[in-house]
Amino acid sequence: MKLATYKDGSRDGQLVVVSRDLTQAHYASHVANRLQQVLDDWNFLSPQLQDIFDALNAGRARHAFPFDPAQCMAPLPRAYQWVSAAAYPSHAELLRKAAGQPALQERAAVPDMVQGAGDALLGAHDALPCAAEALGLDFAAGVAVITGDIAQACAPDRALDGVRLLALYNDATLRSLVCADGAPGVAGVQSKCATAFSPVAITPDELGEGWAKGRLNLPLQTSWNGRKVGQGEAGIGMGTHFGQLLTLLARTRPLRAGSILGAGPVSNSGLEKRGQWSWPQGFHSIAEKRAMETVQDGKAATEYLRFGDTVRIEMKDAAGHSLFGAIEQEVVPFDC
């Protein structure tokens, strides 16, 4: 099934069920008001939402209304935990190469994970505010999972059983932010803007064969100012699958329902021939594009986002149908 959260003036919004083709929606008020309630009592409440979903798709829902992605908050507007991992080795390797750092002899068994701010997640059509263009605002398009309860030290296959929903996200980052006082570590925390999520989150069974062995094996499309810049396969370059990532995250403590884990910006391996770096699937973050330019030409030429720029992130099935709806954001000035 497909679930979304509509804006209603509150912090957590109103839970709605969305039809498979993303054209119709139905309030879930008689089942649950918020997605977190469903995650807390999944086995009891999700079958009731499934009934609404089935009725929507069959045209039998009496109080259905046209679905409007622009009215969506993040599916889970306030998450107990939001973590972004670096699950695509090619992304990290290219950035290391561009920075002049030696290549890793062996790929890290434990990918980097960054604890993000889950208290104010953005909707798919919310503006992307930035205080100054000089801060180097960048997009980072990826796939995330929303979990139920996962036990501490859980095995990867059992951890995958805890995946309740999947969503797309844009993990916007200020790449040029430098602390005025030079305090170590603070810039890294402050460089993370509010993360935006796709209009709907969907259960793994909706993906069919596209969801296999902890990977979402479909291409992710990223467009910048209307021009497609990324068409990378989300599953192919993922070195550590979601089951393994969740196991690593739960190594020392259990995960509670409502945790969100992202796999990092999608990245597929590039090809280096005669000193030229080829990246046929494009890029899903400007930092990766700039790293490619640095490797090839000795310096980066592509600028970061400017005011008025737009970013669109979407994933379609083999028939060309949008699965999660699109993230569509415009960069706007923010007066501190």
Are residues 103 and 201 located together in one domain of the fold? Answer: yes
Q: 249-271: per-residue pLDDT in tens?
A: 999 999 999 999 999 899 886 65
pTM of the model: 0.91
Are residues 175 and 240 located together in one domain of the fold? Answer: yes
Could you write out the three-class secondary structure of the chain? CEEEEECCCCCCCEEEEECCCCCEEEECCCCCCCHHHHHHCHHHHHHHHHHHHHHHHCCCCCCCEECCHHHECCCCCCCCEEEEECCCHHHHHHHHHHCCCCCCCCCCCCCCEEECCCCCCECCCCCEEECCHHHCEECEEEEEEEECCECCCCCHHHHHHCEEEEEEEECCEECCCCCCCCCCCHHHHHCECCCEECCCEECHHHHHHHEECCEECCEEEEEECCEEEECCECCCCCCCCHHHHHHHHCCCCCECCCEEEECCCCCCCCEEECCEEECCCECCEHHHHHHHHHHHHCCCCCCCCCCCCEEEEEEECCCCCECCCCEEEEEEECCC
Has residue 89 been placed in a domain? Answer: yes
Are residues 208 and 327 located together in one domain of the fold? Answer: yes
Are residues 36 and 124 located together in one domain of the fold? Answer: no
Q: 112-171: per-residue pLDDT in tens?
A: 888 888 898 999 999 999 999 999 999 999 999 999 999 999 999 999 999 999 999 999
Are residues 98 and 182 located together in one domain of the fold? Answer: yes
Are residues 88 and 33 located together in one domain of the fold? Answer: no
Quote the domain boundaries for residue 53: 1-67
Has residue 72 been placed in a domain? Answer: no
Has residue 60 been placed in a domain? Answer: yes
Are residues 87 and 63 located together in one domain of the fold? Answer: no
Has residue 73 been placed in a domain? Answer: no
Q: 38-65: per-residue pLDDT in tens?
A: 999 999 999 999 999 999 999 999 999 9
Has residue 194 been placed in a domain? Answer: yes
Our count of domains for the chain comes to 2
Are residues 43 and 106 located together in one domain of the fold? Answer: no
Are residues 51 and 90 located together in one domain of the fold? Answer: no
